[in-house]
Amino acid sequence: MISKSFIKKQKEKLEKELKKSLAQIETLKKDDPFADPDHASDNAAVDTDVREQVGHETIEAQIKDLKRRVKEINLALVKISKNHYGKCERCQKPIVLARLNLIPEARFCITCEKKL
């Protein structure tokens, strides 16, 4: 059984990570070269267009990863609210506290994670 104080700490950690991830997404969106409304008509040199394209694709990949993390964090917060936090989604066994401490949004025990 997971103690209430551990769950409370995990919830606080998850909420902090959620805010951080959402802020990072917004910052990345602003840094995206394609976010500039003048981008489409700026007649930039080919090498500038290539750099902008690579920059855009890099930012899109980072945003995709952050959105996946946000989804996992939200799922963990829902589990906390429903008293299901810390159970492996696959085998229903408890996830080791050390793993939860390191990865608060962990969905699977180490054994099941290795099987995925």
For position 38, what pLDDT does the model report? 60
Q: What is the pLDDT of residues 30-88, one digit of tens each?
A: 988 877 656 555 555 555 566 778 888 999 999 999 999 999 999 999 999 999 999 99
Q: Are 110 and 96 in contact (CB under 8 A)?
A: yes
Gap between the Cα atoms of 92 and 86, Å rounded: 9
Q: Rounded to two decimals, what is the model's pTM?
A: 0.83
Gap between the Cα atoms of 108 and 116, Å rounded: 9
Higher-pLDDT residue of 109, 41: 109
Inform me whether the pLDDT recorded for 100 exceeds 70.
yes
Q: Which helix (H) or strand (E) holds 82?
A: none
Phi, psi of 44 (to 5 degrees): -70, 160
Query: In this structure, what token pair is assigned to residue 91?
Result: 């085998």
